[in-house]
């Protein structure tokens, strides 16, 4: 009986794997490009060292063929950060029309000080936010 259950479970698992591998409803990413960050939400502008805070960013995408790809998070010095968001662009048919996407960064400061964040807002424009970190 135990051998029969092992064979049945193996067949079920193989069936699920083969079904998921035959999924042709995906779209290929054609390119990656910057997308401006429209707004930033920081809940606490003061926090403790080693605490974790989520910083949310919002960007407007022109169609559903585009979505969030990742951040370029650069330490300019010990207390300054620049953040640029990137979007992917796919090749498939998709729903047209703007939509706002929200994404987040987990900030976990390791020392006290006043941290300055600059979020790319298009061209030479930046949204600047500060967070004071205390011991």
Q: What is the pLDDT of residues 30-62, one digit of tens each?
A: 999 999 999 999 999 999 999 999 999 999 999
The span from the CA of 34 to the CA of 68, in Å, is: 10
Q: What is the pLDDT of residues 70-96, one digit of tens each?
A: 999 999 888 999 999 999 999 888 888
Cβ neighbours of residue 1 closer than 8 Å, sequence gap 6 or more: none
Cβ neighbours of residue 3 closer than 8 Å, sequence gap 6 or more: none
* Structural domains of the chain, with CATH: 26-134 (2.60.40)
For 25, 27, 41, the CA distances from 14, given in Å and listed in that order, are 20, 25, 45
Question: What torsion, rounded to 10 degrees, do the Cα atoms 27, 84, 108, 43 define?
Answer: -90
Which DSSP category does 45 fall into? S
Residue written as token pair 């992917």:
88
Summary mean pLDDT of the chain: 86
End-to-end Cα separation, the chain, in angstroms: 62
Is the per-residue pLDDT at 20 higher than 50?
A: no
């Amino acid at each position: 009986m135990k051998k029969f259950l092992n064979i049945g479970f193996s067949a079920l698992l193989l069936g699920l794997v083969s079904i998921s591998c035959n999924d042709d409803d995906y779209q290929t990413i054609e390119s990656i490009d910057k997308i401006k960050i429209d707004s930033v939400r920081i809940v606490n502008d003061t926090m403790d060292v080693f605490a974790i805070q989520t910083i949310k960013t919002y960007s407007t995408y022109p169609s559903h063929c585009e979505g969030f790809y990742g951040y370029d998070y650069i330490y300019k010095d010990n207390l300054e950060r620049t953040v640029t968001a990137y979007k992917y662009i796919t090749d498939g048919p998709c729903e047209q029309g703007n939509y706002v996407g929200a994404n987040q960064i987990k900030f976990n400061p390791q020392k006290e000080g006043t941290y300055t964040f600059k979020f790319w807002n298009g061209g030479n424009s930046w949204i600047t936010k500060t967070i004071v970190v205390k011991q």
